[in-house]
Amino acid sequence: MRHSAPPRTASLSGKTLRLRRIFSAPTGRALIVPIDHSVTVGPLGRKNHADWTAAMLAEAGADALVVHKGRARHIDPAHFRELSLIVHLSAGTSLSVDTTSKVLVGSVEEAMALGADAVSIHVNIGSPTEAQQLNDLGVVSDECARLGIPLLAMMYNRGMAETPGTQSVATLSHLAAIATDLGADIVKLDYAGDRASMDAVADSCPLPIVVAGGAYHDDESAIEFGTRVAESSVAGLSFGRHVFGARNPARVAAALAHVLHTGDPARPLENFGSRTGL
């Protein structure tokens, strides 16, 4: 099962306070919604879509929003009274010759100047530029440790022939180990396919794990998938396209937040506050 967080020493107090803000629900779980995709694929909506999405997520009970630094400047800061801000520091585009390449496009200090509660970085293991992406993860991790801000590592397998969105326990555990060893505080992974497999991944990792949503199909499928993932020993969901691409984003976000924060009434979820130590 999940392990305790590191001791709350003075050097970790900044991270501890910010992690508590993200994982603030009584369950210690979090619904994180990334909308950093616009660098990769283009606009996600009208020019005010980020501000609208932040307002909607705050109302729906989501816990954090992931955006790039420039997009964050187009969101009313009032939305972050209850919603945490995570600034994404790496990027790549679908127009690139190598769509798996990611480069740093921001710094931890820039994110903190925007009021961020955490930063995130995307790492594609198996990419031709894997070495540089691992180096970037280490550099950002050092900055985060120095400044006391949590790091969310979005770890993906891009080198082995496995079904996207459903990776083996061994592969996911390896990705989680990389994030842990290089200093991340939260790790985002694909789903392992079933509860027992995802529990095995969580049992191998001392970090809170949030599960990626993957491709959107329809609202009901998004809610059903989130509910199924929530039955495993993970600390939350990181669903982007399942939310901003939904026909009714507010309904999907509220449903996902509800299942994470209250659990299934027929089978109450374990209290993750004690498990993450947050």
The pLDDT-based confidence of 177 (bands split at 50, 70, 90) is very high
User: Which residue among the candidates 15, 102, 156, 216 is catalytic per the annotation?
Assistant: 156
The pLDDT-based confidence of 275 (bands split at 50, 70, 90) is very low
CATH class, 20-264 region: alpha beta
The two tokens of residue 171 are 């592969």
Q: According to the 3-state scheme, what is the secondary structure of 223-272?
A: HHHHHHHHCCCCCEEECCHHHHCCCCHHHHHHHHHHHHHHCECCECCCCH
Element (H, E) at 91: strand 90-91
A 10 A CB-CB count for 160 gives 12
pLDDT exceeds cutoff 90 at 68: yes
The pLDDT-based confidence of 265 (bands split at 50, 70, 90) is very low
Q: CA torsion, points 65, 68, 70, 72, in degrees to nearest 10?
A: 10
Is 102 designated active site?
no
What residue ranges do the domains of the chain occupy?
Answer: 20-264
Residue 225: its pLDDT value, please?
Answer: 96
pLDDT exceeds cutoff 60 at 138: yes
Average pLDDT over residues 152-177: 85
Mean residue pLDDT across the chain: 88
8 Å CB contact between 6 and 12: yes
User: Which residue among the candidates 102, 188, 191, 216 is catalytic per the annotation?
Assistant: 188
Q: According to the 3-state scheme, what is the secondary structure of 96-138?
A: CCCCCCCEECCCHHHHHHCCCCEEEEEEEECCCCHHHHHHHHH
Residue 166: its pLDDT value, please?
Answer: 61
Is 216 designated active site?
no
Q: Would you call 159 exposed, middle or buried from its count of C-beta atoms within 10 A (0-12, 13-18, 19+)? A: middle
- Reported as a single tens digit per residue, the pLDDT across 228-260 is 999 999 999 999 999 999 999 999 999 999 999
pLDDT exceeds cutoff 80 at 164: no
Bigger pLDDT: 240 or 4? 240
Residue 24: its pLDDT value, please?
Answer: 81
pTM over 0.95: no
- Reported as a single tens digit per residue, the pLDDT across 184-234 is 999 999 999 999 999 999 999 999 999 999 888 899 999 999 999 999 999
Nearest to 114 by CA among 89, 87, 82: 87
* Cα separation, 218 vs 215, whole angstroms: 10
Residue 271: its pLDDT value, please?
Answer: 36
First to last CA, the chain: 16
